[in-house]
Structure 1
Amino acid sequence: MYPSQRLTHLTSAIFTTMNQMKKIVEQKGIEVIDLGIGSPDLPPAPHVRQALQEAVAREDYYGYPTSEGLIAFRQSVANWINYRFGVRVNPENEVLALMGSQDGLAHLTMAWIDPGDVVLVPDPGYPIYAASVHLAGGEVFPMPLKAENQFLPELENIPDEIKRRAKLMILNYPNNPVAATADLDFFSKVVSFAKEHQIIVAHDLAYSEMAFDGYNPPSFLQAVGAKDVGVEFNSLSKSFNMAGCRIGYVIGNQEIIKPLAIVKSNIDYGVFTAVQQAAIAALDGDREGVNPNHLSKVYEHRRNVFIEGLNRVGWFIPKPKATMFVWAPIPSGWDSFSFASTLLKEAGVVVIPGNAFGQMGEGYVRIALVRDENILKEVVRRIDKCGIFSRK
């Protein structure tokens, strides 16, 4: 007996290896600081937790929810999207509730991709993008994200044969792991490209509320004609510190959403009603000023403390304009894994090797700003003390 060969394409190996190495280091009595996984360390706002507590106490909320989500939740999503981006979506058929955006991204390919279909995937990219294609039996075509091109894919470099066969393009700005951003001019080019080659666009906007220095990330759906070709995923995990609640949504073209809704209706019964009520409180509160979003200021301050500290000890990293991540180039003479493993063994700090996110991630590590500023200062102190930047 043996598992499906599809599992050989999944990229959890490095994450598992780093976790195993972390346990070995901890067994030596070292307190490890884990900046590997991007799980928020802050709680939801008090009124969101209160809404969840009240909803959990209701006796009538323990039946199966609907897989498409409460109409009240979908209406709150539509209201929030209009408030944040000036984008109008119909809550009846252009909004679908998800168990986090990863859930929807994982199942979108099952709804649209057949064996032999090509999906354009960013490299480096969040692992579920490529993994979902392999699980659906499709073919991944990596779009290289390079620093010299501001980590934007060069659409003109995609071969003509791939353009003809491609059925779906996945994008993510602000980006995980490279923390890059995109503007509406780029999204407009994507819309034109997608229309010319009849390609669906799926944009992951999970980091819309984590932007710095006055930058305001746009929605892909703000680009003229975007709803004709695409959908956009977002989540309350990062924006409202509700990662463990597992709730998100997809909005946009109803004909693209319909097959995804069919897949999900055959797989799950939807998000717990109490969690949807908490999400409504978060989205409505943000619009009404009850839940002013301080996340950007929190992470901007962490970014500044951390990167400025690393610069002082010889690790020179550009400041990202958004996300909770730092995409850090490593010194010459190292590969990503050996650099990350040395930091763990000698400094007691977990970061993720860049090649966990694709071949183009080699030469980088991803660092998550998921600890408070005093702990981030301690990370800087440890990195300096271990002397990794004084080695030749």
Structure 2
Amino acid sequence: MELSKRLARVQPSATLSINAKAQQLRREGVRVVNFAVGEPDFDTPAHVKQAAVQALHFDRTRYTPVSGIPELKQAVCDWIRDFYGLNYSPSSVLVSCGGKHAIYNVLQAILNPGDEVIIPAPYWVSYPEMVALCDGVPVIVDCDFEKDYKLTPALLENAITDKTRLVILNSPSNPTGCYYDRDELVELVAVLNKHPHVTVLSDDIYSHILFNNRKWVNVAMVDETMLPRTVIIQAVSKTYAMTGWRIGFAVGPEEIISAASTVQSQSTSNPCSIAQWAAIAALRGDQTCVARMAEEFENRCQYLVERLRQIPGVKCVEPQGAFYAFPDVSAFYGKKYDGIVVRNSVEMAEYLIDKANVAVVPGSAFGNDRCIRLSFALSWNELEEGLNRIDTALKALR
């Protein structure tokens, strides 16, 4: 059978494949430290789980409106108002099966064949692939280590053409943890204001995990003229340790949200009804759990970065949020183990899983082959043991 030609342009998720290999080794009895995991290691808050139980008790198990139940859409508007200082109506909200689904729906709604999408690299693995699935053109803009892997005004200006439809901004970033502050966003918006045909997809999925008392800000918050050209992506996944509940949101101009809702209506239809009621409890309930998780991630980040920088040859930008580090390990490329040369990030990841039983994600999946991605959503014992293994393994390369 002949498959769709567009699939030839799409690669499977590297994070999922690495996770699968780590899980297989664990099933075989091997003790693996898994730095590849992309989800909080905390339990979903008790009041959120209780809301799901209550939803079951009240038989809230039927189909819901395609774009989400009105109660949740209003909760999203209130949450955005309180956190962003921006006002949206429920008609500007689409509830989807996770943030990833929300992004895909928006891209399907606004991209035509040949439309260009600017994606700063390093990037989240799925951005280019989703653009390709929409017959769009991913325009990868390489960002420098010295600039904390962030898009600069000059890089943005040079990347924009008449075919540019969208810019994707992810802050704090997966995989680097880098965050755009207000001054940096003001400079980027100054460029975007010269090109009114360009829309921004602001992937804010890690917005509540910020370090060093940083304050949340995105492009629509620094300049109200960007509101009609900005789509915000959010979810309960990372903020409330609800990755498996699969509830995400797209918030933005009603025309785009309505079109994305139409896409969803002909694919998945509504998200899980029970998870929607649980998400209301997350957004409207006690937020102490959010601050507690962010504080713990910050402490782990400091430890992990300090340990990585103690390994001769490793360079690492300090994350400013999220729960990932993206160390540059290219100084070890060309070195050998058992007569085998490690030449790139894929082979480095294979070396670490095979010889140290440590799972990491190759940086090539994120658009930078010099690096590997490590999640610090792990226990302290796992962090220490895993970093000890990485230290030993890297020093063993000759």
TM-score, normalised to structure 2's length?
0.89
Deviation of 1:341 (Å): 1.5
Q: Distance in 2 between matches of 1:147 and 1:161?
A: 19
Q: 1:311 to 1:191 in 2, by over 3 A?
A: closer
- Measured after TM superposition, the shift of residue 369 of structure 1 is 1.2
The amino acid that maps onto 1:262 is T
User: Counterpart of 1:8?
Assistant: 8
Task: State the alpha-carbon separation in 1 of the partners of residues 281 and 16 from structure 2.
Answer: 36
CA pair 157-122 structure 1, distance change in 2 beyond 3 A:
closer
Name the SS of the counterpart of 1:196 in structure 2. Answer: coil
1:377 to 362, 365, 384: 384
> Residue 53 and residue 169 in structure 1: after superposition, are their counterparts in 2 closer, same or farther (change >3 A)?
same
Change (3 A) 1:25 1:95: closer
Which residue of structure 1 lines up, in the alignment, with residue 364 of structure 2? 355
One of 96, 118, 121 as aligned partner of 1:120? 118
Secondary structure in 1 matching 2:178: coil
Residue 28 of structure 1 and its aligned partner are, at CA, apart by 7.1
Please give the per-residue CA displacement for 1:155-194, whole angstroms capped at 9, x wherever unaligned: 4345779521111111111111121110223333333433
Matches within 5 A, 1:121-136: 121-136=119-134
Q: Give the number of equivalent residue pairs.
A: 385
Whether the 8 Å contact between 1:282 and 1:291 is mirrored in structure 2 is no
Matches within 5 A, 1:1-392: 1-12=1-12, 14-15=14-15, 18-19=18-19, 22=22, 29-59=29-59, 61-91=60-90, 93-157=91-155, 162-197=160-195, 198-224=197-223, 225-286=225-286, 291=289, 293-314=291-312, 315-334=314-333, 335-358=344-367, 361-386=368-393, 388-389=394-395, 391-392=397-398
The answer to whether the 8 A contact 1:202-1:231 is kept is: yes
Give 1:313 shift: 4.6
Say if 1:291 and 1:154 are closer, same or farther in 2 by CA, change over 3 A.
closer
What CA distance in whole angstroms lies between the structure 1 residues aligned with 2:303 and 2:158?
46
Task: Report the residue type matching 2:395 in the other structure.
Answer: F
- Distance, in Å, in 1 between the alignment partners of 2:49 and 2:349 is 37
Instruction: Give the match's secondary structure for 1:239.
Output: coil
CA contact (8 A) 2:19 2:37 kept: no
Amino acid at match of 1:40: P
The alignment-based identity, stated in percent, is 26
Cα distance in structure 2, aligned partners of 1:14 and 1:150: 23
Contact 1:99 1:271 in 2 (8 A): yes
Amino acid at match of 2:50: Q
Shift in Å, 1:6:
1.6
Whether the aligned pair in 1 keeps the contact of 2:15 and 2:361 (CA below 8 Å) is yes
| Corresponding residue for residue 341 of structure 2 | none
Q: Using the alignment, how far apart are the partners of 1:72 and 1:19 within structure 2? A: 36
Cα offset, 1:16, TM superposition = 6.1
Q: Alignment partner of 1:120: what SS? A: strand
Q: Residues of 2 paired with 1:45 and 1:273: CA distance?
A: 18
Whole-angstrom CA distance in 1 between matches of 2:352 and 2:303: 19
Q: Give the aligned residue type for 1:209.
A: H
User: d(CA) in 2 for partners of 1:129 and 1:319?
Assistant: 23
Secondary structure in 1 matching 2:291? coil
Which residue identity lines up with residue 156 of structure 1 in the other structure? A
SS of match in other structure, 1:66: coil
Output the CA distance in 2 between the equivalents of 1:207 and 1:374: 24
Q: Is the 8 A contact 1:220 1:232 kept in 2?
A: no
Cα distance, 1:124 vs. partner?
2.1
Change (3 A) 1:305 1:136: same
- Within 2, Cα distance between the matches of 1:308 and 1:347? 20
RMSD of aligned Cα (Å): 2.3
For 2:25 and 2:355, the matched residues in 1 are separated by: 9
Q: Given residue 222 of structure 2, which amino acid in structure 1 is its aligned partner?
A: A
Q: 1:25, 1:344 within 8 Å by CA — same for their partners in 2? A: no
Q: Per-residue deviation at 1:319?
A: 2.7
| 1:137-157 residue CA offsets vs partner (Å, 9 max, x unmatched) | 111111222212232223434
Q: TM-score, normalised by structure 1?
A: 0.91
One-letter amino acid of the counterpart of residue 99, structure 2: S
For the structure 1 residues 158 and 278, does the alpha-carbon distance in structure 2 shift closer, same or farther, using more than 3 Å as the test?
Answer: closer
Gaps of 5+ in 1: none
